[in-house]
Amino acid sequence: MNKLSKKQLLFYKIVAIIAVLFLVGFLRYAGGLKLFSAQNGSIFEIAKIVFWAMVIYGLLEFLIPGFAERDNVFFGKLAGIVSATILTAIFLMIVPNGFVTVFLSVAIAVIIAQLLEQFLSTKEPNCTTILIITLLFLFLLVSFIIFSYHPLGGFLFKK
């Protein structure tokens, strides 16, 4: 299969940002999906939505012809998912709460994560980096599942 050109890859990354923002908006209001959707406007809940939206888009991205044939694409994708989630939480701790600031925070986090993913998919990772990124991904996955049903206290979980 043909490798992706830089123009095609840029197009798919722009589509990625739009798709993740759409999924964030969709999952936010899908009340029956407690695991995937936010229960309130807390930082934790918004970061959870970004995580699941990035995972869903990441799985769909592997359907793009030639996408999976790039070197280190799986490592880059995991790093993008983890970084988007962590950056969203950091940005939301910094900016005041409001629809526009939340939307911009999520958009900036997803853009940075896509750039990081693109950069890391061209680099050869070492075993330590792969292990750390994989453990962070698994930690986020487990914590979002467990804490969705049994939230803790603290500023991350408050509206």
Q: Which residues of the chain have pLDDT under 70?
A: 1-4, 24-41, 66-68, 70, 153-159
Supply the pTM of this predicted model: 0.74
pLDDT of residue 1: 43
Chain centroid, CA 88 distance in Å: 9
Nearest to 52 by CA among 76, 19, 75: 19
CA distance 34 to 144: 11
Q: What are the helix (H) ranges across 71-98? A: 73-94
pLDDT of residue 159: 60
